[in-house]
């Protein structure tokens, strides 16, 4: 084969761009992205099933596409910008979604939370002002056993409000020459 | 669970993919969105020796109207149709279908063409393609051929693609202003396969009579099932409750599901009837005529 | 329920939060990917374990060939049941105390997916590859799937047991003859076989462990356990490793719901692997392993008979149950209660006489019988009586709310001795139901229903007014493996007025790090933000029985409050020294010490804490800490009134839950935000049990729900919007009056859902459909009733 990259079943190095950092990870072609990320120390991405049902493993591809990282091989992820929950915000600089899940008691055991946050982030990229029903529909690929979802919906709506306000504040700040629209807002993610 | 080992080839063009298929023959499987294949591989129900990944074939990720059809490339994700304003406005059957496949995250990676090539009789795109009379485009070293969807869907997990062929596109005829459809699905929860589902698309003439009808069922046989008798019965008719009742009864008769945890044969057959009737009513409502009294 | 949250979270040192919705202290780590679950453990040289499972439900094992598996690159060892026999580790005692369970199959397999061999390899993938290649020669046998077949003893499933019968035990409670006599004399008798289907707790984090022996030969065992101390003792008893040479660490747990109470064969295999290979071993279940081998719940076939007068006054209750325990009796009930707390089956009602009996049988199904979000078989009991009361109401054509009102234990009758021997601590059943009826607009809903019925539409209203029994339990009655079911607390206050709290329980999402701090903060006048809560490490936490059966707040919560009061007593002496007064003249008012009659002379606990280390006073013991083991004097009895409103699509059988209101009375509320969250979660699980969750087996013994494609967990689309509320009837015997709440919504809600659907179908004469109420079951009931009506 001259025109394609071929691999065999021995370990090979993939280069993954995760949360703005470049990772070189040893994988087999069959290594699922979720495990490649976890083996790289990004343990916030969880695995809860074998059938692409639970969504605990959702990460973002290229900023706005949620992907079940247990249903994708690490080798497929080369060339994509990957965001995991660690890239959303840390304990000292929570993203509005993280803050809202905390405020609204949108988590209990925490196992589904990273995937839920990433799916919610992807939704708000495309639909910044969703109805409750739209939130429920977009999150329906992410299972939660603890919360019954009510508070998750509330949390996403709180975050959506905060993010809309931030966007508006940025837009207004941008109208004034000489000011940097990237400052003066709270929260914000790594992207 | 972890898949069995395989060789991985990332193609950067359709030609590279075809070359890889030529080299590895029946051992190779195409990996598009992977949302059906990878779960099957994780459970080791599928164990391809070679995966040819179309993820790098950027020029197959298109969605455009051309030549009277909506053309959907092999790497076009379900979500692309879901979010396309033109599709939402005019392709009501496809819009309905796209909203109930798997779950929203899976739809962000899953592809329309990949789903049709997977050939799962419980997959939702098959019936929608039948009802809208779609055509597949297959490319091989010797060129392209068009395959009507009825010929493409052969059996459970089996299509008429030949060894060395790559499905590069599906074409859905563009509905005119007098055409609408509906996809009705009963699922136990989001993410489940259909217990029963029906795809319906109808065109009305100026006199309110049906000029074209597409009626097809999901999970009602070894492959998606066209309800010929219902289509024939609808042609030339006004959409009255009597006509709807008769057409939907044909769906019940032709439906040939297997019993499983989703339901008995009897229940699934009756739901084929109920859902075709609902689909016809929904289509009539979308056409602005409603059911004729 | 409106909840006051502390949105700023900048609580000052004297900002107390008891009864307020303080945001959870544990959340920032979960929200940022910094949780620490078992699968997050990575140790140098760690191997991965995979298990080989039987495809047959019943088969002899003629031989096992490991050669192909051992040839897979990276594979270090394969062990089988025969290997474990040699090490005397082939069998594991179950917590129940009546039985033992095979670790790896010896001689025969007794259920589909039973553990047959364990493989240890350098990678997860290699372990799985090798597991596929372990060649087991099975001789299939006919399986026995139904307990009604099993009870005939035509095939004896457990030839390892002395008693050659499939009957495991008989249990009964109450007055057999008196109950029968009362039923014979009753003006009305209803009877129904009600099945509580086999289901599974299925927490999102599967079970798993990491086993490591350190250089000194001490076992460090990270495991998904709801009861780490009991695990330590059990591991010591099974393996013979001295208990001091075992450290069990239960880190963050991704949900338990009863699934993570028993000790599973995989844990024993991982420990054996770490021992023989002298390197750490990790085992994380697949979802299929979780659903097919670990503790299932329910599987009770209950014949419920209620006698009553024509006016609705109940006269007697009889329940006869056949329990399917699967291949091993791996239920996790207290030793003296093989049927758990099933005796609470008289519910919220004044039955003058009652009798309950149960017979348990082996079948070729997975073992278990765990308390799935339930205090030991209370869900089954509650479902039986709440369903039974509605069947009686239907028979009498009485409003189900009025039937309940007529029979409630009245507020002034507590403490109330039930016909089956429980002493209910407190409650206000009628008040709680009335609040629910008013809040949901019951009368208006009944009017709407009448209109809809006239139009041929199916709308239903279902009520459940359940009573739970939680907080196991008083030592004279309750033990597991002989260990009394107390719990414990240790509180250590640092010189600067901060501190650390440890208990014998283990949160799996319930928010102990927050509520425990709130309890101690309230008792000591300290800032809950600076009270660190630590659980789950047996090297540091005091011995306790763990978190399940809603026992944490009733037992460990009481231990904490009393331990805090011990700290306070100690602090009082230091305060007396600081205030230059006699200790008996110091009183605790408004969260500080003051001299009796001289409020201006006061010191805070923070000041006292500093003094306890720097200036404790002559004769006072330095330092400020206390520990306490709490033996509860009684169980607690939370209760609630739930109302479901449903619409049924007669064409498809689809049920839409339009509204659901839960009024819970769990006594004193520590953190209403957390209580509401628990209620939401439990209701969602109850909804799932009512409508979609089941582990069915086909006639060949195949498990038909081995993954999340078939074992259905509701998503945000199916889950209803929950309405909640509360009444507060404190427990008289709990130090802060709390009763526990985590399981009430799961115990009380299934009956409300089913009652609502039956109410919708009542005009058709349908009285009962077994859960889960799938579309097809509802469709069939409607169709059959319509056909019967047409042929009349």
Q: Report the pLDDT averaged over residues C518-536.
A: 97
d(CA B224, CA A102) in angstroms, rounded, equals: 46
Residue B154 is encoded by which pair of tokens?
């052969």
- How many Å is the Cα radius of gyration of chain B? 19
In a domain, A58, yes or no: yes
Residue C737 is encoded by which pair of tokens?
């009056």
In a domain, A112, yes or no: yes
Q: Among A175-189, B101-115, B182-196, C25-39, whose mean pLDDT is lowest?
A: A175-189
Q: Report the pLDDT averaged over residues B227-240.
A: 98
Asked if C581 and C466 count as a contact pair (C-beta separation under 8 A), the reply is: no
Residue C480 is encoded by which pair of tokens?
């597991």
C-beta atoms surrounding A133 within 10 Å = 11
Q: Where are the alpha helices (DSSP H) in C408-474?
A: 429-440, 442-454
**CATH H-level, domain B179-286: superfamily:** CO dehydrogenase flavoprotein, C-terminal domain (3.30.390.50)
Shortest CA gap A2–chain C (Å): 30
Identify whether residues A93 and A154 lie together within a single domain.
yes
What whole-number percentage of chain C has pLDDT above 70? 98
CB contact under 8 Å between C716 and A101, yes or no, is no
> What is residue C17's predicted lDDT score, i.e. its pLDDT?
84
- What ranges do the domains of chain B cover? 7-53, 61-173, 179-286
Q: How confident is the model at residue B48 (pLDDT cuts 50, 70, 90)?
A: very high
Half-sphere exposure of residue C295, counting CA atoms within 13 Å on the CB side?
A: 29
Q: Look at residue A182 and tell me whether its pLDDT is greater than 90.
A: no
pLDDT digits (tens, 9 = 90+) for C326-336: 999 998 889 99
CATH value at residue A127: 1.10.150.120
- Residue numbers of the domain that contains A122: 89-173
Identify whether residues A37 and A96 lie together within a single domain.
no
Identify whether residues A107 and A32 lie together within a single domain.
no
Last residue of a domain, one of A34, A62, A87: A87
Q: Look at residue C601 and tell me whether its pLDDT is greater than 70.
A: yes
pLDDT digits (tens, 9 = 90+) for A76-135: 999 999 999 999 999 999 999 999 999 999 999 999 999 999 999 999 999 999 999 999
Cβ-Cβ contacts under 8 Å for A152 (sequence gap 6 or more): A101, A104, A106, A107, A116, A139, A144, C716
Strand order in the sheet with C108-109: C108-109, C59-65, C135-140
> What is residue A175's predicted lDDT score, i.e. its pLDDT?
86
pLDDT digits (tens, 9 = 90+) for A41-90: 999 999 999 999 999 999 999 999 999 999 999 999 999 999 999 999 99
Looking at chain B, which subunits does it touch, using at least 3 CB pairs closer than 8 Å as the criterion? A, C
Length reported for chain B: 293
> What is residue C209's predicted lDDT score, i.e. its pLDDT?
98
Residue that the structure tokens 């959340």 belong to: C27
d(CA C151, CA C359) in angstroms, rounded, equals: 9
Q: What is the longest distance spanned by two Cα atoms in chain B?
A: 61
* Overall number of domains in chain A: 2
> What is residue C126's predicted lDDT score, i.e. its pLDDT?
95
> What is residue C341's predicted lDDT score, i.e. its pLDDT?
96
The residues of C carrying an active-site annotation are 226, 373-374, 743
Identify whether residues A99 and A77 lie together within a single domain.
no
Which CATH number is associated with domain B7-53? 3.30.43.10
C131 contact B CB<8A? no
pLDDT digits (tens, 9 = 90+) for C179-189: 999 999 999 99
Q: Which residues on chain B are in Cβ contact (under 8 Å) with A76?
A: 10, 31, 34, 53, 55
CB contact under 8 Å between A109 and C676, yes or no, is no
Strand order in the sheet with C586-589: C586-589, C592-595, C598-603
The pTM of the full predicted model, rounded to 2 decimals, is: 0.96
Identify whether residues A164 and A95 lie together within a single domain.
yes
In a domain, A116, yes or no: yes
Higher-confidence position of B36 and A1:
B36
Strand partners, B66: B69
Q: Please provide residue A16's backbone torsions phi and psi, each rounded to the nearest 5 degrees.
A: -115, 135
CATH value at residue A25: 3.10.20.30
Q: Is the peptide bond before C15 cis (omega within 30 degrees of 0)?
A: no
C-beta atoms surrounding C167 within 10 Å = 14
CB contact under 8 Å between A137 and B19, yes or no, is no
Determine which helix (DSSP H) or strand (DSSP E) holds A18, and give its type and residue range: strand A12-18
Q: How confident is the model at residue C35 (pLDDT cuts 50, 70, 90)?
A: very high
Identify whether residues A159 and A137 lie together within a single domain.
yes
Tell which A residues from 110 to 139 touch C, by Cβ distance under 8 Å.
110-114, 117, 135-137, 139
Strand ranges inside C197-325, DSSP E: 208-213, 219-223, 246-249, 281-284, 296-297, 300-308, 314-324
Last residue of a domain, one of A68, A87, A106: A87
Q: Report the pLDDT averaged over residues B79-104.
A: 98
In a domain, A6, yes or no: no
CB contact under 8 Å between A107 and C31, yes or no, is yes
From residue C90, how far is each of B254, C85, C101, C116, C265 by CA, in Å? 55, 5, 9, 11, 9
From residue C621, how far is each of C249, C497, C570, C624 by CA, in Å? 32, 17, 8, 8
Q: Report the pLDDT averaged over residues C513-531.
A: 97
Q: Which residues on chain A are in Cβ contact (under 8 Å) with C30?
A: 107, 109-110, 113
Identify whether residues A44 and A100 lie together within a single domain.
no
d(CA B154, CA B150) in angstroms, rounded, equals: 8
CB contact under 8 Å between C722 and A91, yes or no, is no
Identify whether residues A75 and A100 lie together within a single domain.
no
CB contact under 8 Å between C705 and B261, yes or no, is yes
Cβ-Cβ contacts under 8 Å for A143 (sequence gap 6 or more): A48, A53, A54, A55, A56, A112, C204, C708, C713, C715
CB contact under 8 Å between A51 and C287, yes or no, is yes
Class of domain B61-173: alpha beta
> What is residue C15's predicted lDDT score, i.e. its pLDDT?
59
Q: Please provide residue C599's backbone torsions phi and psi, each rounded to the nearest 5 degrees.
A: -60, -20
pLDDT digits (tens, 9 = 90+) for C664-692: 999 999 999 999 999 999 999 999 999 99
Spell out the SS3 assignment of C42-65: CCCCCEEEEEEECCCCCEEEEEEE
Sign of torsion over alpha carbons C750, C753, C755, C761:
negative
From residue C696, how far is each of B220, C436, C536, C702 by CA, in Å? 24, 35, 34, 8
> What is residue A76's predicted lDDT score, i.e. its pLDDT?
98
Identify whether residues A76 and A131 lie together within a single domain.
no
In a domain, A185, yes or no: no
pLDDT digits (tens, 9 = 90+) for A6-31: 335 578 999 999 999 999 999 999 99
CB-CB: which of B16, B105, B106 is closest to A3? B16
Q: Look at residue B245 and tell me whether its pLDDT is greater than 50.
A: yes
ipTM entry: 0.97
pLDDT digits (tens, 9 = 90+) for C93-139: 888 778 999 999 999 999 999 999 999 999 999 999 999 999 999 99
pLDDT digits (tens, 9 = 90+) for C355-372: 999 999 999 999 999 999
> What is residue C2's predicted lDDT score, i.e. its pLDDT?
41
Domains of chain C: 27-35+487-630 (3.30.365.10), 38-141+206-253+260-293 (3.90.1170.50), 378-471+635-791 (3.30.365.10)
C-beta atoms surrounding C692 within 10 Å = 21
Spell out the SS3 assignment of A81-142: EEECHHHHCCCCCCCHHHHHHHHCCCCCCCCCHHHHHHHHHHHHHHCCCCCHHHHHHHCCCC
Identify whether residues A94 and A22 lie together within a single domain.
no
Q: How confident is the model at residue C792 (pLDDT cuts 50, 70, 90)?
A: confident
3-state secondary structure of B134: coil
Q: Which residues on chain C are in Cβ contact (under 8 Å) with B192?
A: 709, 712
Q: How confident is the model at residue B266 (pLDDT cuts 50, 70, 90)?
A: very high
Q: How confident is the model at residue A191 (pLDDT cuts 50, 70, 90)?
A: very low
> What is residue A10's predicted lDDT score, i.e. its pLDDT?
76
- How is C334-386 classified by DSSP, letter by letter? -TT-TTTTGGGGGTTB--SSEEEEEEEE--SS--EEE-TTSSSSHHHHHHHHH
Residue C278 is encoded by which pair of tokens?
């002298």
Strand partners, C173: C356
Determine which helix (DSSP H) or strand (DSSP E) holds C589, and give its type and residue range: strand C586-589
CB contact under 8 Å between B39 and A79, yes or no, is no
Q: Report the pLDDT averaged over residues B197-206.
A: 98
Residue B140 is encoded by which pair of tokens?
């091989």
Task: Name the closest residue on chain C to residue B188, using Cα atoms.
Answer: C692
Q: What angle do CA C562, C568, C571 make, to 5 degrees?
A: 150
Residue that the structure tokens 């080369």 belong to: A78
d(CA B66, CA B81) in angstroms, rounded, equals: 16
d(CA B181, CA B194) in angstroms, rounded, equals: 18
Identify whether residues A169 and A94 lie together within a single domain.
yes
Residue that the structure tokens 């995250």 belong to: B105
Q: Which residues on chain A are in Cβ contact (under 8 Å) with C204?
A: 46, 48, 54, 56, 109, 111-112, 143-145
A68 contact C CB<8A? no
Mean pLDDT, rounded, of chain C: 96
Residue C284 is encoded by which pair of tokens?
């994380």
Identify whether residues A158 and A94 lie together within a single domain.
yes
C124 contact B CB<8A? yes
- How many Å is the Cα radius of gyration of chain A? 18
């Amino acid at each position: 084969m001259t025109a394609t990259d071929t691999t065999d079943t021995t370990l090979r190095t993939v280069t993954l761009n995760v949360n703005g950092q470049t990772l070189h990870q040893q994988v087999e072609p069959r290594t699922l992205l979720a495990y490649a990320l976890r083996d790289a120390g990004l343990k916030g991405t969880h695995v809860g099933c074998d059938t692409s049902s639970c969504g605990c493993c959702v990460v973002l591809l290229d900023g706005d596409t949620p992907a079940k990282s247990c249903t994708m091989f690490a080798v497929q992820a080369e060339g994509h910008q990957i965001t995991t929950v660690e890239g959303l915000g840390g304990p000292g600089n929570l993203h509005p979604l993280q803050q809202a899940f905390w405020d609204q008691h949108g988590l209990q055991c925490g196992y589904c939370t990273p995937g839920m946050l990433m799916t919610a982030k992807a939704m708000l990229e495309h639909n910044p002002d969703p109805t409750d029903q739209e939130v429920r529909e977009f999150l329906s690929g992410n299972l939660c056993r603890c919360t019954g979802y009510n508070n998750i919906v509330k949390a996403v709506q709180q975050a959506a409000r905060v993010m809309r306000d931030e966007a508006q504040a940025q837009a207004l700040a941008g109208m004034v020459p000489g000011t940097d629209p990237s400052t003066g807002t709270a929260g914000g993610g790594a992207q | 669970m972890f898949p069995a080992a395989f060789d991985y080839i990332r193609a950067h063009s359709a030609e590279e993919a075809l070359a890889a298929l030529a080299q590895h023959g029946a051992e190779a499987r195409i990996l598009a969105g992977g949302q059906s294949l990878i779960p099957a591989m994780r459970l080791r129900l599928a164990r391809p020796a070679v995966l040819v990944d179309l993820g790098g074939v950027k020029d197959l990720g298109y969605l455009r109207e051309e030549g009277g059809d909506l053309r959907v490339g092999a790497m076009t994700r379900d979500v692309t149709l879901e979010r396309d304003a033109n599709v939402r406005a005019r392709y009501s059957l496809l819009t309905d279908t796209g909203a109930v496949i798997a779950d929203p995250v899976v739809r962000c990676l899953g592809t329309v063409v990949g789903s049709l090539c997977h050939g799962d009789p419980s997959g939702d795109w098959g019936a929608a393609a039948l009802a809208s009379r779609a055509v597949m485009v297959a490319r091989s070293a010797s060129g392209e051929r068009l395959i009507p969807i009825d010929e493409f869907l052969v059996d459970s997990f089996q299509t008429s693609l030949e060894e060395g062929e790559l499905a590069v596109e599906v074409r859905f005829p563009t509905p005119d202003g007098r055409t609408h459809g509906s996809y009705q699905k009963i699922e136990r929860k989001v993410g489940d396969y259909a217990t029963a589902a029906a795809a319906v698309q109808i065109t009305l003439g100026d006199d309110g009579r049906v000029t074209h009808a597409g009626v097809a069922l999901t999970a009602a046989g070894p492959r998606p099932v066209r309800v010929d008798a219902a289509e024939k019965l609808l042609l030339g008719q006004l959409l009255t409750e009597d006509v709807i009742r008769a057409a939907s009864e044909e769906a019940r008769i032709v439906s040939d599901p297997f019993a499983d945890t989703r339901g008995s044969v009897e229940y699934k057959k009756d739901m084929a009837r109920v859902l075709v009737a609902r689909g016809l009513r929904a289509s009539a409502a979308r056409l602005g005529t409603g059911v004729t009294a | 329920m409106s909840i006051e949250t502390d949105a700023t979270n900048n609580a000052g040192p004297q900002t107390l939060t008891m009864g307020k919705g303080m945001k959870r202290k544990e959340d920032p780590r979960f929200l940022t990917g910094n949780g620490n679950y078992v699968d997050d453990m990575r140790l140098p040289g760690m191997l991965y374990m995979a298990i080989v499972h039987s495809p047959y439900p019943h088969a002899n094992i003629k031989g096992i060939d490991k050669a192909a598996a051992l040839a897979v690159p990276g594979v270090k060892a394969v062990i089988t049941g025969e290997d474990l026999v040699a090490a005397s580790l082939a069998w594991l005692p179950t917590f129940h105390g009546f039985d033992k369970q095979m670790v790896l199959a010896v001689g025969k397999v007794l259920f589909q997916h039973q553990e047959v061999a364990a493989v240890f390899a350098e990678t997860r993938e290699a372990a799985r590859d090798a597991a596929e290649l372990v060649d087991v020669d099975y001789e299939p046998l006919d399986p026995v799937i139904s307990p009604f077949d099993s009870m005939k003893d035509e095939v004896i499933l457990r030839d390892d047991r002395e008693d050659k019968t499939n009957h495991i035990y008989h249990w009964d409670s109450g007055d057999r003859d008196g109950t029968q006599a009362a039923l014979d004399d009753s003006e009305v008798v209803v009877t129904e076989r009600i099945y509580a289907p086999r289901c599974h707790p299925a927490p999102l984090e599967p079970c798993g462990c990491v086993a490591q022996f350190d250089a000194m030969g001490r076992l460090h065992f990270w495991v998904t356990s709801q009861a780490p101390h009991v695990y330590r003792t059990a591991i010591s008893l099974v393996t013979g490793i001295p208990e001091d040479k075992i450290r069990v660490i239960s880190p963050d747990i991704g949900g338990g719901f009863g699934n993570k109470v028993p000790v599973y064969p995989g844990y024993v295999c991982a420990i054996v692997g770490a021992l023989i290979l002298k390197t750490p071993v990790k085992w994380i279940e697949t979802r299929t392993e979780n659903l097919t081998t670990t503790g299932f719940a329910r599987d009770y076939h209950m014949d419920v008979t209620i006698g009553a007068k024509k006016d609705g006054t109940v006269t007697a209750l009889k329940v006869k149950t056949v329990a399917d325990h699967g291949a091993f009796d791996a239920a996790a009930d207290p030793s003296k209660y093989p049927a758990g707390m099933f005796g609470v089956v008289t519910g919220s009602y004044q039955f003058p006489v009652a009798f309950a009996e149960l017979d348990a049988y082996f079948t070729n199904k997975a073992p278990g019988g765990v308390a799935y979000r339930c205090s030991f078989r209370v869900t089954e009991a509650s479902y039986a009586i709440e369903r039974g009361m509605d069947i009686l109401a239907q028979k009498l054509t009485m409003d189900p709310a009025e039937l309940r009102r007529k029979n409630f234990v009245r507020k002034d009758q507590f403490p109330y001795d039930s016909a089956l021997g429980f002493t209910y601590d407190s409650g206000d059943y009628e008040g709680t139901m009335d609040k629910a009826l008013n809040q949901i607009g019951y009368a208006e809903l009944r009017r709407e229903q009448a209109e809809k019925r006239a139009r041929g539409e199916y709308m239903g209203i279902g009520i459940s007014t359940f009573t739970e029994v939680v907080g196991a339990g008083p030592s004279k009655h309750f033990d597991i493996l002989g260990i009394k079911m107390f719990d414990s607390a240790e509180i250590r206050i640092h010189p600067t007025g901060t501190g650390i709290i440890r208990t014998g329980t283990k949160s799996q999402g319930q928010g102990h790090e927050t509520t425990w701090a709130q309890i101690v903060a309230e008792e000591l006048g300290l800032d809950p933000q600076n009270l660190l809560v630590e659980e789950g490490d047996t090297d540091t936490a005091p011995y306790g029985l763990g978190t399940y059966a809603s026992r944490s707040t009733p037992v460990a919560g009481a231990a904490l409050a009393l331990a805090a009061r011990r700290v306070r007593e100690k602090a009082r002496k230091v305060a007396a020294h600081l205030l230059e007064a006699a200790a008996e003249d110091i009183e605790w008012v408004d969260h500080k010490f003051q001299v009796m009659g001289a409020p201006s002379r006061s010191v805070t606990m923070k000041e006292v804490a500093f003094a306890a280390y720097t200036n404790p006073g002559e004769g006072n013991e330095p330092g400020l800490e206390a520990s306490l083991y709490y033996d509860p004097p009684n169980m607690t009895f939370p209760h609630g009134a739930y109302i479901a409103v449903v619409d049924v699509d007669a064409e498809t059988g689809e049920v839409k839950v339009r509204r659901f209101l839960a009024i819970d009375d769990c006594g004193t509320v520590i953190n209403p935000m957390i209580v509401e969250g628990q209620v939401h979660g439990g209701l969602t699980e109850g909804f799932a049990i009512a409508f979609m969750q089941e582990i069915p087996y086909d006639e060949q013994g195949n498990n038909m729900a081995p993954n999340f494609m078939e074992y259905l967990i509701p998503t945000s689309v199916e889950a209803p919007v929950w309405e909640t509320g509360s009444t507060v009837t404190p427990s008289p015997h709990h130090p802060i009056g709390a009763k526990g709440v985590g399981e009430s919504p799961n115990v009380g809600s299934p009956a409300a859902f089913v009652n609502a659907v039956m109410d919708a179908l009542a005009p058709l004469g349908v009285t009962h459909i077994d859960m889960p109420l799938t579309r097809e079951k509802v469709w069939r009931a409607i169709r059959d009733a319509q056909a019967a009506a047409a042929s009349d």
